[in-house]
């Protein structure tokens, strides 16, 4: 922009100089014409001088015309440059606005990403802790269930032993003095009692079987959760 201003200023100075030269040439032409009218003796010299001045004038006119053309071209270039500069400024403004918008979107995306990452880390941490808590709970349930299984199996074994003892004692197989009818009644009573004991213990036996299956399932879950924690 400064270069264009300097060029315009220089062209203006040249035009001023040309105008001054033209004014001087015109003045000289007027003086020559007066001399021609006042003295015919100097006609030839004046004509030669006039011709010379006309040549100078023609040259000056040509130079002026060239300068005008140059000035016109310079004005066109200046106008084109101004248009380019205006478009460039508009484009620069648009680019700046786009850059600001992009930076704002990037900042928002970074905040969203950081928030998402933090939430994901919190979720992962909570999930890990949940798995650990589940493992501890399952282990505690297995320990408690092991105690239940031991107690139930002991009770079942004791009941089977009790049935055997009751059967032997009530049948009185080694006592010959017991009447047959009483022996028969005691045998029936023994069978009924052992049957009732077996019926009473049946649910416990089924519970033991079910508890063992649940224990296997819990152990499998623990193994899977521990594997997930390690990975």
13-40 confidence digits (pLDDT tens): 766 676 666 666 567 656 655 654 555 5
CB 78 within 8 A of CB 5: no
Distance in angstroms between the alpha carbons of the first and the last residue of the chain: 67
* DSSP per-residue string spanning 93-131: HHHHHHHHHHHHHHHHHHHHHHHHHHHHHHHHHHHHHHH
Helix 180-230 and helix 43-171, axial crossing angle in degrees, nearest 10 = 160
Q: How much is the pTM?
A: 0.40
Domain boundaries, the chain: 2-92, 125-230
The DSSP element (H or E) to which 183 belongs, if any, is: helix 180-230
Beta-carbon contacts of 198 under 8 Å, excluding residues fewer than 6 positions away, are 159, 163
The pLDDT of residue 101 is above 70? yes
The pLDDT of residue 144 is above 80? yes
pLDDT of residue 153: 79
């Amino acid at each position: 922009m400064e270069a264009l201003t300097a060029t315009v200023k220089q062209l203006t100075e040249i035009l001023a100089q040309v105008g001054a030269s033209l004014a001087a040439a015109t003045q000289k032409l007027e003086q020559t014409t007066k001399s021609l009218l006042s003295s015919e003796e100097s006609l030839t010299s004046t004509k030669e001088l006039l011709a010379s001045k006309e040549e100078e004038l023609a040259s000056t006119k040509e130079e002026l015309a060239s300068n005008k053309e140059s000035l016109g071209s310079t004005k066109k270039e200046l106008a084109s440059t101004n248009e380019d500069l205006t478009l460039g400024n508009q484009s620069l403004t648009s680019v700046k606005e786009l850059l600001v918008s992009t930076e704002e979107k990037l900042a928002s995306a970074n905040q969203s990403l950081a928030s998402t990452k933090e939430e994901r880390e919190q979720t992962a941490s909570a999930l890990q802790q949940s798995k650990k808590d589940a493992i501890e709970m399952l282990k505690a349930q297995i320990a408690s269930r092991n105690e239940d299984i031991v107690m139930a199996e002991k009770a079942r074994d004791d009941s089977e032993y009790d049935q055997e003892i009751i059967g032997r004692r009530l049948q009185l197989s080694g006592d010959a003095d017991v009447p047959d009818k009483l022996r028969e009644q005691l045998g029936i009573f023994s069978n009924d009692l052992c049957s009732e004991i077996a019926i009473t213990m049946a649910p416990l036996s089924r519970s033991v079987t079910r508890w063992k299956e649940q224990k296997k399932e819990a152990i499998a879950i623990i193994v899977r959760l521990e594997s997930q924690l390690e990975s």
